Amino acid sequence: MTTAATLAEPLAPLRADPARTAVLFDVDGTLAPIVRHADDATVSEAVRGLLIQVAKRYGVVACVSGRRAADARRIVSIGSIAYVGAHGGELLRPGNVRPEVDRALEEWSRRVQDFAREADNAPLSRLRIRLEDKESIVAFHWRGTPDEGAAHAAVQEVANRAEAVGLSTHWGRKVLEVRPPVRMDKGIGIRHLLREADVRAALYVGDDATDLDAFDALTELAQQGRLDTVICAGVRSEEGPREIVERADLVLDGPGDVRALLEALLAG
């Protein structure tokens, strides 16, 4: 397992000027272990305590999630940091009650919800496929179902129907998301978050394909001269895409290593 000591050197550019550094984390699979039921996800007290300390030291600290921003805040349980939710469609700033929502997503939310109600039928229930309501996004989970192969096939049919009526689909770790047909990704949300922030360095930590958009956004900001230092950390897992490891500046083995990274950010 990676230790805080081994991470201290690669993170030194961030620790040199924490007030002008953004520290950004995915939630599921990064701060919180992947669990069978999405509603059961939790961040350990040890990790939460470290994240609170990091938030006091660094200029911008945020969690970036496919969940609704309010749900991400509920899981992490820290009100003093920002939350980018719905894959960039929402931004919940520290201390705020309501998120800033992309207007295009609001216009499509009802159609996504209508599709979800129609798709949530008896065959899906028999296969124990679970729906997760993310307002403008609906997720279909089949992790831990009695017959994951049959469940995956049924979810594929849902994806086909969604695309046939003009909605977009995105596949994750044993989950399908049905989304509005507008551009939405974590990179867009990060750009919105950092637009007026006085930061020159940024760290992003993630484990899934959607996190590659965050890698891209920070790399582009560096190429544009907006950031001097960018560190992309990939959390390795059996189900995660190999690109996360191939493109990462740092490779971590699960949430345990993420805890070590938090400790390294606080070193010195």
Give the whole-angstrom CA distance, residue 130 versus residue 127: 9
Q: Which two tokens stand for residue 16?
A: 């040199």
> Residue 26 catalytic?
yes
The CA distance from 211 to 204, in Å, is 9
Supply 93's token pair. 């700033």
Catalytic residue among 17, 26, 28, 102: 26
CA gap 126, 80 in Å, rounded:
42
Instruction: Answer yes or no: are the C-beta atoms of 29 and 209 closer than 8 Å.
Output: no
Residue whose pair of structure tokens reads 């939350």 in the numeric block: 83
Polymer length in residues for the chain: 268
Q: Could you list the active site residues?
A: 26
